[in-house]
Amino acid sequence: MQRQYATNVKLPSIIASSLLLFGFLSWVIIETQTSRLSHQRVEEKSHATLSQLAEVIRTPLFSSDIIAVQFTLRNATKDTAIYSASLYDVENTLIAQSSRAQKAPANLEIFKRNILLEDSLAGTLVIAVNSGPIYAAYSNVFFLWALLWLLFSAACTYACYRLTDRISRRLRSLTNRLPGSSDPMIDEILELETRLQPLLSNSRELDNHSNGGYYCSVVTGTIKNRKSLNKQLNHENLELLFEHIDLCVDRTIELYGGQRLEGSNGGICFSIRSTQCSKQHILVCLMAMYSLQQLLERLSVKLGIELAINWTLCSDNISSLPTFRYHESISTLKAASLLLSNRIDSSIIALSIVEYDIDQLSSIARFSKLEEHSFVFQGFPEQRQVLLEKQISHLASICL
């Protein structure tokens, strides 16, 4: 089984590991380069010193002026990088030598050069170069880089931890809101995927059904006395009235599985959909309309404000894709429902439907004919009316 880690542990660990790998590779490269450059610097120093000594010492060596040779070697050792300088004859016998008085350092490198006079060997120059300070100067570059890398790595790791800790807390908060097991979670992303999977599967199944189209009914509640309400009530009371209406609408359509739509001219609008046209679907829409009508009438009595509202329903098969076609179909149904509401008085529930005639609809409720394919709701059978009264009383206890 793969071991799981929390997000605020996993990501900082990955960042820290990456920085360690970067530090190691950089250390190898910088160490190689500084070593090469320091060796090159020592060699350049030694070659420059030997070339200068060879030019200066050639004349006194030819004239056997040992004092001048000694003086030249002493001047060479005044350079802190040159520990000693010696001159040997052709038989490798020491002629003159100059060295610093201090104790011989550990990092001494010996360099030699032959002195030629008229194409014949006249002697050999030998210098001892103290390479320690040169190597130390290049080593300081490495230690400075190491310090900067350490500070940068610590800052990046800490910043990553703080950021991922905030993300982790938000993921846990989001995951806890989703349905699923309440066991302690380790990997928040894996747990979120696990809880979302059933929801995504249901969504895909619904989309598969919806891609071929579904049957949608748009319900519109038109407030016929909206202008008189604007005159009778001040702004604060009007806002309070519509807050109560919104609460009643939201709780009712939640009960019947509807979806709130934007109404026109302060009206009420929502939709209810199903996979296909059926009498059961029409019945659910009628129950939602009747429940809202009765609920708002009780609200009107409680507030002492007259609400003259009629209710209309228009239905059609619509497609969810493409999106613009869906919105176009919804707008068409809303417009048709609004036109129907303009032809009826307040407190009337009317529906426009082409799939069923009045005889077929009589099995779910009583209707009278308004015009072709349009009917006025008269009432439910007694048993269904009793059931609806209980639901309306329940809604009233919540909303009023």
Q: Which residue has the tokens 């190597």?
A: 135
What is the architecture, at CATH level 2, of domain 7-134? 2-Layer Sandwich (3.30)
Q: Over the stretch 74-112, which tens digit does the pLDDT of each residue have? A: 888 888 788 888 888 888 888 888 887 777 777 788 888
Ranges 163-177, 240-254, 329-343: which has the least confidence:
163-177
Among the listed residues 262, 261, 256, 263, the one whose alpha carbon sits nearest the alpha carbon of residue 281: 256
d(CA 38, CA 50): 18
Q: Which residue has the tokens 């309440």?
A: 182
Q: Over the stretch 118-172, which tens digit does the pLDDT of each residue have? A: 777 878 888 888 877 878 777 788 788 889 999 999 999 899 888 888 888 887 7
Kindly tell me if the per-residue pLDDT of 324 is higher than 60: yes
d(CA 361, CA 127): 117
What is the pLDDT at residue 99? 83
The rounded percent of the chain whose pLDDT value lies above 70 is 91
Is the CB of residue 258 less than 8 Å from the CB of residue 288? yes
Is the CB of residue 351 less than 8 Å from the CB of residue 375? yes
d(CA 179, CA 65): 103
Between CA 67 and CA 78, with CA 72 as vertex, the angle to 5 degrees is 125
Read off the pLDDT band of 204 (50, 70, 90). Answer: very low
Instruction: Round the average pLDDT of the chain to a whole number and report it.
Output: 83
d(CA 167, CA 186): 14
- Residue bearing the bigger pLDDT, 201 or 26: 26
Kindly tell me if the per-residue pLDDT of 210 is higher than 50: no
What is the pLDDT at residue 266? 65
Kindly tell me if the per-residue pLDDT of 205 is higher than 70: no
Q: Mention every residue, 6+ apart, whose C-beta is less than 8 A from residue 126.
A: 85, 86, 87, 88, 110, 111, 112
Q: Which residues are registered as beta bridge partners of 260?
A: 270
Q: What are the backbone dihedrals phi and psi of residue 381, each rounded to the nearest 5 degrees, phi first?
A: -60, 160
The pairing of beta strand 108-117 with beta strand 259-260: unpaired
The pairing of beta strand 94-99 with beta strand 108-117: unpaired
Is the CB of residue 226 less than 8 Å from the CB of residue 378? no
Q: According to CATH, what is the number of the domain 213-399? A: 3.30.70.1230
User: What is the dihedral angle through the alpha carbons of 172, 175, 179, 183, rounded to the nearest 10 degrees?
Assistant: -40
Q: pTM value?
A: 0.48
Domain residue limits, the chain: 7-134, 213-399
Is 213-399 in the same CATH topology as 7-134? no
Is the CB of residue 269 less than 8 Å from the CB of residue 263? yes
Q: Which amino acid is at 381?
A: P
